[in-house]
């Protein structure tokens, strides 16, 4: 608890492999990752995730898909892929709720209280009470989900987002993010995800991932990693360099089916 799950070195490796022309290794990694997310999201046994610390990117994926997500006063949630020229993945188009477009486009963070308020967390608990709860949970004999729900409800604390929370400004946020070409990419990703299954969302995210790592549309993925994680200059040279130069064709290309010779994501049977 209280540690970062996502590992920076993994991300820099993807860029290195892509630049070396070893795209198949990258694709295999993402196929395995997305398949694992699907298994977690469709697993028949109860999965209780405790988000007591930084929960971002892949770390968010392996926890948010669980049946029960316990946020705490130390929780910091984000899908910060935008900072490296990538798109929110690991099934985020399925689980991102009300402030989805805002989170995806800005990479901003949510607190544990905010996660509970917008449905990303199912329960909230202060860190001071975690040890006791975990100990009792480990001894719980549960016949079905209702036993776990009753147990967690007994320990759960109430939580209200602060007055500065973005959740209090959703009307303004939606107005600001309701137009623009790049915004349309993420808007379509999130909006469609609200009406699709987890498998459909992961399949679409995989298509976008393949196009990012293969640099078919833009080199932004490798450039973002270079700028933020390799050189740490934080001044990426995006291509195109400004929103006005992002064409509708580029937007459409991200969602287009993969070529016939490029296998789509095949998810395991659960």
User: How confident is the prediction along the chain (270 residues), in pLDDT tens digits per residue?
Assistant: 445 445 455 788 888 888 888 889 999 999 999 999 999 999 988 899 999 999 998 889 999 998 999 999 999 999 999 899 998 899 998 888 656 777 887 888 999 999 999 889 999 999 999 999 999 999 998 878 899 999 999 999 998 888 888 888 777 766 666 555 555 656 665 666 667 899 999 999 999 999 999 888 999 999 999 999 999 999 999 999 987 888 889 888 988 999 989 999 999 875
pLDDT value of residue 156? 93
The first and second tokens of residue 16, run together, are: 């290195």
Please state, in angstroms and as integers, the Cα–Cα distance from residue 64 to each residue in 60, 178, 193, following that order: 6, 26, 15
Fold of 8-255: 2-enoyl-CoA Hydratase; Chain A, domain 1 (3.90.226)
Half-sphere exposure of 168 (CA within 13 A, CB side): 7
Residues 6 or more apart from 229 whose CB is under 8 A from it? 8, 11, 12, 84
> What pLDDT shows up at residue 1?
44
CB 161 within 8 A of CB 111: yes
**DSSP code at position 229:** I
Q: Domain boundaries in the chain?
A: 8-255
Separation of alpha carbons 136 and 189, rounded Å = 40
């Amino acid at each position: 608890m209280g540690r970062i799950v996502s590992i920076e070195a993994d991300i820099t490796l993807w860029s290195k492999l892509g630049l070396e022309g070893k795209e198949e290794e990258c694709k295999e990694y993402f196929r395995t990752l997305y398949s694992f997310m699907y298994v977690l999201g469709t697993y028949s046994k109860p999965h209780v995730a405790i988000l007591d610390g930084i929960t971002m990117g892949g770390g968010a994926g392996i926890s948010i898909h669980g049946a029960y997500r316990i946020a705490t006063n130390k929780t910091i949630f984000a899908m910060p892929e935008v900072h490296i020229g990538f798109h929110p993945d690991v099934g985020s188009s399925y689980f991102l709720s009300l402030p989805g477009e805002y989170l995806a486009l800005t990479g901003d963070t949510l607190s544990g209280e905010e996660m509970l308020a917008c449905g990303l967390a199912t329960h909230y608990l202060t860190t001071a009470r975690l040890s006791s709860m975990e100990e009792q949970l480990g001894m719980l004999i549960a016949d079905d989900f209702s036993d776990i729900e009753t147990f967690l409800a007994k320990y759960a604390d109430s939580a209200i987002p602060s007055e500065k929370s973005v959740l209090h400004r959703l009307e303004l946020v939606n107005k600001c993010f309701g137009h623009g070409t790049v915004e349309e990419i993420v808007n379509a990703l999130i909006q469609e995800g609200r009406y699709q299954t987890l498998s459909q969302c992961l399949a679409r995210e995989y298509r976008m991932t393949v196009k990012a790592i293969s640099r078919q549309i833009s080199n932004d993925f490798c450039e973002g990693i270079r700028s933020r994680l390799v050189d740490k200059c934080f001044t990426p040279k995006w291509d195109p360099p400004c929103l006005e130069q992002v064409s509708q064709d580029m937007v459409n290309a991200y969602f287009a089916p993969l070529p016939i010779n490029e296998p789509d994501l095949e998810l395991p049977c659960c």
